[in-house]
Amino acid sequence: MKNYKITVAYDGTKYNGWQKQGNTQNTIQEKFESILGKMTGQKIEVHGSGRTDKGVHAKGQVVSFKLKSDFEDEEILEYINRYLPEDISALDICEMDERFHARLSAKRKTYVYRIWNSPIHNAFEHRFLYTVEDELDIERMQKTAENFLGEHDFLGFSSVKKTKKSTVRTIYRAKVERCGNEIKFIVTANGFLYNMVRIMAGTVLEAGLSKRESDSVFEVFETKDRNLAGATLPGKGLSLLSVEYRD
């Protein structure tokens, strides 16, 4: 039994997220398991580093799976790409030790939320951008982003209702960049809760629109009250950039 790691990129626009679901086959995970099953004649379980939601994209999603085969690595990669739809790509493949798991072995993940700040829509990249026409205060947005840094309880910045698992996460990087009409909110952490990045981005955006103060972040940390955080921005602006497996 061999254990493989694949880096995957996809445009999530028309998919119901990464994770397979009982009521649809229109998920990224389902596509990979179906193709690998046809290739090997085996029932293959594929694990992703994160469960990206409906409409969310990835440039560096990581996938792991185990299978019994005599295929060379490049043969597997070539077969997968031959049958994947054109909006999903398997970028590389390598064999890992048997303990490697795309999600459980991950140390850090980096996401970007992209905002198009102009009354003129971006005709070519609109599927990957959330458009905001009003002028934004980048300095206020950056100050808000910096307040996320460090170890905090992010329950109030998530859609998690009740859980026995820890909702404490460590943010290593949180910054706002502007290049022309595009604004990027980039965040790196040791893990993320359900909708956490989209709510953080919504909070940063509201600060940029002068609808909240930058230090309002700390009140959410203290109270864990989801109602005090920003809106959950649409999935279309969010992309998983990379996953790291070394400290």
Whose tokens are 């209702």? That residue is: 161
Distance of CA 129 to the CA centre of its chain: 14
CB 42 within 8 A of CB 66: no
Q: Is the pLDDT of residue 247 over 70?
A: no
From the CB of residue 185, how many other CB atoms can be counted at a distance below 10 Å?
Answer: 29
Query: How far is 150 from 131, CA to CA, in rounded Å?
Result: 29
The yes or no reply on domain 2-96 and CATH 3.10.350.10 is no
CB 77 within 8 A of CB 90: yes
Based on its alpha-carbon atoms, the radius of gyration of the chain, rounded to whole angstroms, reads 19
Backbone conformation region of residue 48, classed left if phi is above 0, alpha if psi is from -120 to 50, else beta? beta
Domain ranges, ordered by start, for the chain: 2-96, 108-244
- Phi and psi of 65, rounded to 5°? -160, 155
According to the model, what pLDDT value does residue 118 have?
A: 97
Mean pLDDT of 55-62: 97
Catalytic residue (choose from 11, 53, 70, 153): 53
| Token pair for 52 | 């990206």
Mean pLDDT of 135-162: 96
Query: How far is 97 from 2, CA to CA, in rounded Å?
Result: 8
| Beta strand 57-67 pairing with 238-244 | parallel
According to the model, what pLDDT value does residue 228 have?
A: 97
Closest residue by Cα to residue 46 from 58, 56, 36:
36
Query: How far is 117 from 75, CA to CA, in rounded Å?
Result: 44
Global pTM reads 0.95
Q: Is the pLDDT of residue 84 over 90?
A: yes
Backbone conformation region of residue 17, classed left if phi is above 0, alpha if psi is from -120 to 50, else beta? left
**Summary mean pLDDT of the chain:** 95
For residue 153, name the pLDDT band (cuts at 50, 70, 90). Answer: very high
For residue 12, name the pLDDT band (cuts at 50, 70, 90). Answer: very high
For residue 198, name the pLDDT band (cuts at 50, 70, 90). Answer: very high
CB 40 within 8 A of CB 88: no
Q: Is the pLDDT of residue 22 over 90?
A: no
According to the model, what pLDDT value does residue 230 have?
A: 97
Mean pLDDT of 44-62: 95
- Examine the residue annotation and report whether 225 is marked as an active-site residue of this protein: no
Mean pLDDT of 127-152: 98
| DSSP 8-state assignment for residue 205 | H
CATH code for residues 108-244: 3.30.70.660
Query: How far is 77 from 93, CA to CA, in rounded Å?
Result: 7
Give the max Cα distance, the chain: 59
pLDDT digits (tens, 9 = 90+) for 180-189: 999 999 999 9
Q: Is the pLDDT of residue 243 over 90?
A: yes
pLDDT digits (tens, 9 = 90+) for 95-121: 999 999 999 999 999 999 999 999 999
